[in-house]
Amino acid sequence: MAMKIVCDFETHNHDGADKTGVWAVCICDLNNIDNIMVGDSIDDFFDFCKEANCDIECYYHNLKFDGEFIIYHLLNNDYEYSNAKKLKEKEFKTFIDSNGVFYSITFKLEGHTIKIYDSLKKIPLSVDSIANSYLKGIELNKGIIDYTKDRTHDYKLEEHEDEIEYIKSDCQIVALALKQHFDKGMNKMTLSGDAFKNYVDLSFKGNMQHFRRRFPCLDSYKLNTTIQLLHNDEEVEMTYDDYIRKAYVGGWTYVNTHHKKYDKVKRELSIYSDGCVLDVNSEHPYSMHSTQGDYYDVNGPHLMPMFTPLFFKGKAEDNIEEFQKSYCRVTPIYIQHLKIDFELKERGIPCIKNKHASLWIGEDDWLETSNHELYELWVTNVDLDLIFENYNINDIEYIDCMLFVGAEGLFDIYIDHWINEKVNATKAKDAGRRQIAKLLLNGLGGKFGQRTKSSMKVPKLVNNQVKYEKVELEDRESYYTAVSVFMCAYSRRTIIKAAMSVYDHFCYADTDSLHLDCPYSEIKSDKIRVDSAKLGYFDLESEFVKARFIKSKCYIECTKNGELDGIHDEIMMNIKVAGLLRSYMKRWDDREQGKITREDRKQLFKDLNIDFEDFHRGLIIKDGSNKAKRIKGGVILKRGDFEIK
């Protein structure tokens, strides 16, 4: 059995550095956090692996960073890249996807296999959040050090006890949390992998053949006709899975540009009155659960797809009778391929996805009009109902469709198990057990939509820097993409229907949350049911006294942090800007000397030194971004200014 360890590097990142390297390394035994070693170079890590004289499973929290240094070291020490299943001595391989996401690094050292994984893929939380979520009552806090300090001249790690304790604490926090996952049999590389295995174990007693009877692999099923694409007039061949993926749309984030206080010149919505934020409890698990009893949905049932779908030309509704000749006495759900000319109704809410929208800018994600042209869409019947409610349809042409057997309860065993686990863990005040339940509840749905077409990046050394070249891989087998497609559709329906029901107060939506310009006590809507524990209900997340919404994932809210005799005793700013570095905005020399507490660190995360009235497009936040730059030895993070555009 392989030894399990958690590791961390601290690396040179000072201004003007033309090369970098490891100045501190920590290795912690995952099964005994008191068995811990600290060194001052990357050689200490490789020496440990050599002297252990056994196979090793090693976890870094954010392998994308630390892995660069490992790969650089391997390439500079005569290791050769190999894609063989069994590595030879002085060979290594990596699993880095085409987007540069690191999953694993494996190398052979003196007859033993060293496998390095990313613990962030199993626990997608910062180290500080892990400490807060898993280790309540345990005296282990995420510390703070100065990452930009020059440690290249006469620096001796053993003389800096505070920095030794910092790196030790980081490793011990991650090790304690990971052990809780492993103790529950969660041994896959990723959280979604753990969730999927657990679903098959609970619902099919671990039998993948039984799983495949319900959810067949649709990669080998080819449509009996080519599909003509409107945007480039091209005819393409598709598998069933290709067709289904056309309807795969993510979460709904939207600033209400039709709000009476929206400024069309500044392109922002400013609210100077009391408001509230409501979040849906476990939105995706709710969308996968049946709607019986306590899980009743005012918007309708959650029919999920299964079995082999059938493909038809024309309108789905016109093919139901033919479909039911193969699947009698079932209620079909479907994906419709169509061309549509649309325009938003007077009090409609945009819900047609702009397929050309930028992933980061967040502008025009949802279209209001097709400008009197036919727009090509693949949509579920759930989305189509929303479109008819919110748009005037000038013209529509139904091209083809895919009909599925729809059923409720396909995921109830799994979801109910982890809801009960979460409730029992809360009663037992077991923070780690509760956090695992939360992660597993939300980790399943996305696995069904895992991409089949894949490529990876292979590292090589060029001019003493690590470079990557893209290599295409054989297609992976899909799970059943339609599950993810309909899960997301029901989730969007939940939040959009709620927004529609409070249209006059609706300011902003962020996937599973509504931001409204009134106190919760003034909300009158049968679509918004509030309960802090019930699945699919809304929870009152926070209240604000003023807010500004600029675009998707870009807003500021001054939230109430307590009241005394009706007077707010403290107002805190909640700032969310996609791409903005959230930590270390405050200068280090402004801090008093001494040990940094957890509360100090929380304040550093929140203290962006931004005044509410400055928060507009064009605001430049000093040192608000980090950009990775590869140089000799590994990678450094270059701090730069961040602009809200």
Q: What is the pLDDT of residue 244?
A: 97
Q: How does pLDDT run across 110-140, given as a tens digit for each residue? A: 999 999 999 999 999 989 889 888 887 666 6
Please give the structure tokens belonging to residue 596.
Answer: 């940094």
Q: What is the pLDDT of residue 361?
A: 44
Q: How does pLDDT run across 4-13, given as a tens digit for each residue? A: 999 999 999 8
Q: What is the pLDDT of residue 138?
A: 64
Query: CA-CA distance, 449 to 452, in Å (whole number)?
Result: 9
> ∠ CA 523-529-530 to the nearest 5 degrees?
85
Please give the structure tokens belonging to residue 539.
Answer: 């929870």
Whole-number Cα distances in Å, 43 to 17, 63, 109: 21, 18, 13
Query: CA-CA distance, 324 to 336, in Å (whole number)?
Result: 17
> Using CA of residue 307, residue 313, residue 315, residue 317, what is the dihedral sign?
negative
Percent of the chain with pLDDT over 90: 71
E-assigned strand segments in 66-179? 80-81, 91-96, 102-109, 112-118
**What single-letter amino acid sits at 320?**
I
Q: What is the pLDDT of residue 603?
A: 52
**443 confidence band (pLDDT: 50, 70, 90):** very high
Is a pLDDT exceeding 80 seen at residue 636?
yes
Q: Answer yes or no: are the C-beta atoms of 347 and 503 closer than 8 Å.
A: yes
Q: Mean pLDDT in the chain? A: 89
Is a pLDDT exceeding 60 seen at residue 250?
yes
Q: How does pLDDT run across 290-332, given as a tens digit for each residue? A: 998 889 999 999 999 999 999 999 999 999 999 999 998 899 9
Tell me the average pLDDT across 229-240: 80
Percent of the chain with pLDDT over 70: 91
Q: What is the pLDDT of residue 65?
A: 95
Please give the structure tokens belonging to residue 387.
Answer: 């479109």
Let me know if 593 is exposed, middle or buried by CB neighbors in 10 A (0-12, 13-18, 19+). Answer: exposed
Q: Answer yes or no: are the C-beta atoms of 333 and 305 closer than 8 Å.
A: yes
Is a pLDDT exceeding 80 seen at residue 276?
yes
**596 confidence band (pLDDT: 50, 70, 90):** very low
Q: Answer yes or no: are the C-beta atoms of 315 and 398 closer than 8 Å.
A: yes
SS3 annotation, 401-429: EEEEEEECCCCHHHHHHHHHHHHHHHHCC
* Higher-confidence position of 135 and 232: 135
Whole-number Cα distances in Å, 519 to 443, 522, 531, 537, 548: 33, 6, 16, 18, 16
The strand pair at 634-643 and 620-631 is best described as antiparallel
Contacts of 563 (CB under 8 A, 6+ apart): 569
Tell me the average pLDDT across 147-175: 90
Q: What is the pTM of this model?
A: 0.92
Q: What is the pLDDT of residue 393?
A: 98
Range picked from 15-19, 187-191, 222-226 for highest mean pLDDT: 187-191
Q: What is the pLDDT of residue 582?
A: 59
Total Cβ atoms within 10 A of residue 527: 17
Q: Classify the phi-psi angles of 234: left when phi > 0, otherwise alpha if psi is within -120 to 50, otherwise beta.
A: beta
Q: What is the pLDDT of residue 141?
A: 66
Query: CA-CA distance, 297 to 288, in Å (whole number)?
Result: 12
For 540, the enclosing helix (H) or strand (E) is strand 538-551
Q: How does pLDDT run across 383-421, given as a tens digit for each residue? A: 999 999 999 999 999 999 999 999 999 999 999 999 999
**What single-letter amino acid sits at 427?**
K
Query: CA-CA distance, 134 to 90, in Å (whole number)?
Result: 38
Q: What is the pLDDT of residue 363?
A: 60
Whole-number Cα distances in Å, 45 to 60, 254, 376, 630, 639: 12, 47, 54, 21, 28
Is a pLDDT exceeding 50 seen at residue 602?
no
The strand pair at 91-96 and 80-81 is best described as parallel
Q: Answer yes or no: are the C-beta atoms of 435 and 133 closer than 8 Å.
A: yes
Q: Answer yes or no: are the C-beta atoms of 362 and 578 closer than 8 Å.
A: yes
Total Cβ atoms within 10 A of residue 31: 13
**561 confidence band (pLDDT: 50, 70, 90):** low
Query: CA-CA distance, 396 to 342, in Å (whole number)?
Result: 9
Is a pLDDT exceeding 80 seen at residue 456?
yes
Query: CA-CA distance, 487 to 282, in Å (whole number)?
Result: 12
Is a pLDDT exceeding 90 seen at residue 581?
no
**518 confidence band (pLDDT: 50, 70, 90):** very high
Q: What is the pLDDT of residue 571?
A: 60
